[in-house]
Structure 1
Amino acid sequence: MSQIESLFATRLYRAALSEHGAPIDPQEMEVSCYSIAEDDEAGQDWCEANAYPGYTSYASLTDLPWRFPIFADLVASLDAHVAAFAEDLQFDLDGRTLTLEDLWINILPEGGMHASHIHPHSVISGTTYVSMPADTSALKLEDPRSAMMMAAPVRQKSARRELQSFIYVKPNVGDVLLWESWLRHEVPMNMSEDDRISVSFNYRWE
C-alpha cells in the first residue's frame, strides 16, 4: 500500500503574549511606540533618507527596554515564548540559550509595506502586535522551497494549507508570532486609514 507523509516541517508559533510574563497593556504600548517615534530624530532621518513608509526604530535605537519599562516586561515575556518555541522545534542548544539580539518598533501608515525579506544570522524571529486595524494587512509567509520549484505548476486554490505557496496570518492585538529566521515573509500594503503598529525582534544562539 502506498504511503505519503509530510517532511521537513516549517513551524509557526502563535500565542497570546499574556500566556507568559506580566500583563502588558496594549494601549500603554501604543502610546509608548508613538512617544519613541516622536523623539527619535535619528530614526526619522533614516526613514526619510531611505524612503521608508512610516517609522521604524530598527536603524536607530537598541535600548528600548531601558527607555520604557513596558519594553523590559515585553522582553521577559518574549524570552519565555521563544523558549517554548525552541522546545517545540527540538533544538539541541548544547547548554546555551537563545537570547534577544534586537527589538524594534514598526509603525506603518496607510500605503506602507514591508517588502519580502529574511533575517540572516538569527535563529528565531517574530513580531508582537500593538495595533491591527480591521482592514489592515496580514503577515504573508512564503514557502521556503519556492526558488527550487522552477518548473512546478501552481497549486490549486483549494490546496491544503500545508501545500500552499503563500500563507496569510492575521494576528490579533496582543498576539505574538514566531518563526525560524530563514523563513521569507512580508507585510503587504496597509490599506487601512489607521496605523498598523508592531514590535519585531530577533533571537540569536549564544
Structure 2
Amino acid sequence: MSTIRSLFVTRLYQSALSDLGGAVDQDELLASCYTIAEDDEAGQEWCEQNDYPGYTSYASLTDLPWRFPIFAEMVKCLDAHVAAFAKELAFDLGDKALVLEDLWINILPEGGTHSSHIHPHSVISGTTYVAMPEGTSALKLEDPRLPMMMAAPTRLKGAPEELKPFIYVKPSVGDVLLWESWLRHEVPMNMTEDDRISVSFNYSWG
C-alpha cells in the first residue's frame, strides 16, 4: 500500500496583532506613518534616488520604537507573535531569543509595486498591515523550490494550496503575517487610488 507524505513544510503565520495581548491603536498608527513620511526628508530622498514608489523608512530611520510610543507598543505585540511562531517552527534557540533587528514603514501608492525579494541575515520576517484599501494587492509568496523545478508541468487550477507555485494572501488591517526570512515574496501593483500601508520587520537570533 503506497503512502504520500508532505516533506519540508513552509510555514506562514497569520494572526490579528492584538490576539496575544497588548493593543495598537490603528488610527494612531496610520497617522504616525503619514507624519513620519512627511517629515523624513532623508527617506524621501532615498526613495527618489532609488525609484522607489511611494515611501519607505527602510534606509533612513532605524529607531521608530524609540521615536513613537505606538511603534514600541507594536513591538511588544510582535515579540509575542514571533515567539509563538518560533515555537511552531520547533527552533532550538538555546539561551538566545529572537530579537527585533529592524522595522520600517511602507507606503505604496497607486501603481506602486515591491519586486520579488528575500530578507538575508534574518531568521523571521513579516509585516503588519495599516491600510489595505478594497482591491489593493495581496502579498505574493513563491514556492522556494521553484528554481529547481526545471521541466515540471504547471499545476492544475484547482491544485491544493500546498502544491501551488505561488500563493496570494490578502490580510486585513491589524493582521500580522510571519514567515522564515528565506521565503521569496513580493507586492504586486497597487491598482487602487488609495495608499497601501504596512510596517515590515526582521527578527534575528541573539
Alignment map for 1:143-154 (pairs within 5 Å): 143-154=143-154
Stretch of structure 1 that moved more, 22-31 or 76-85: 22-31
TM-score normalised to the size of structure 2?
A: 0.99
CA distance in 2: counterparts of 1:148 and 1:157, whole angstroms: 21
Q: Secondary structure at the match of 1:103?
A: strand
CA distance in 2: counterparts of 1:205 and 1:66, whole angstroms: 21
Q: Secondary structure at the match of 2:127?
A: strand
Give 1:25 deviation, angstroms.
1.2
1:78 and 2:73 are equivalent in the alignment: no
1:92 and 2:89 are equivalent in the alignment: no
Does the CA-based 8 Å contact 1:21-1:73 persist in structure 2?
no
Q: Secondary structure at the match of 2:18?
A: helix
Provide structure 1 residue ranges, at least 5 long, that are not aligned to the other structure.
Answer: none
Which amino acid in the other structure matches residue 104 of structure 1? W
CA distance in 1: counterparts of 2:203 and 2:84, whole angstroms: 13
Does the CA-based 8 Å contact 1:109-1:190 persist in structure 2?
yes
Alignment correspondent of 1:182: 182
Q: Secondary structure at the match of 1:80?
A: helix
CA distance in 2: counterparts of 1:173 and 1:98, whole angstroms: 25
Alignment correspondent of 2:196: 196
Alignment correspondent of 1:101: 101
Alignment correspondent of 1:30: 30
Alpha-carbon displacement from aligned partner over 1:128-170 (angstroms, at most 9, x marks no partner): 0000001100000000000000111111111110000000000
CA distance in 2: counterparts of 1:97 and 1:67, whole angstroms: 24
Give 1:95 deviation, angstroms.
1.4
CA distance in 2: counterparts of 1:159 and 1:36, whole angstroms: 43
Does the CA-based 8 Å contact 1:139-1:169 persist in structure 2?
yes
Alignment correspondent of 1:42: 42
Q: Secondary structure at the match of 1:18?
A: coil
Does the CA-based 8 Å contact 1:55-1:108 persist in structure 2?
yes
Does the CA-based 8 Å contact 1:119-1:125 persist in structure 2?
yes
Alpha-carbon displacement from aligned partner over 1:56-88 (angstroms, at most 9, x marks no partner): 000000000111100000001000000000000
Alignment correspondent of 2:124: 124
Q: CA RMSD in A?
A: 0.5
CA distance in 2: counterparts of 1:10 and 1:53, whole angstroms: 30
Does the CA-based 8 Å contact 1:18-1:24 persist in structure 2?
yes
Alignment correspondent of 1:54: 54
Q: Secondary structure at the match of 2:197?
A: strand
Alignment correspondent of 1:6: 6
Which amino acid in the other structure matches residue 80 of structure 1? A
CA distance in 2: counterparts of 1:135 and 1:153, whole angstroms: 31
Alignment correspondent of 2:172: 172
Provide structure 2 residue ranges, at least 5 long, that are not aligned to the other structure.
Answer: none
Task: State how many pairs are aligned.
Answer: 206
Alignment correspondent of 1:65: 65
After TM superposition, which residue ranges in structure 1, 4 or more long, deviate above 6 angstroms? Answer: none
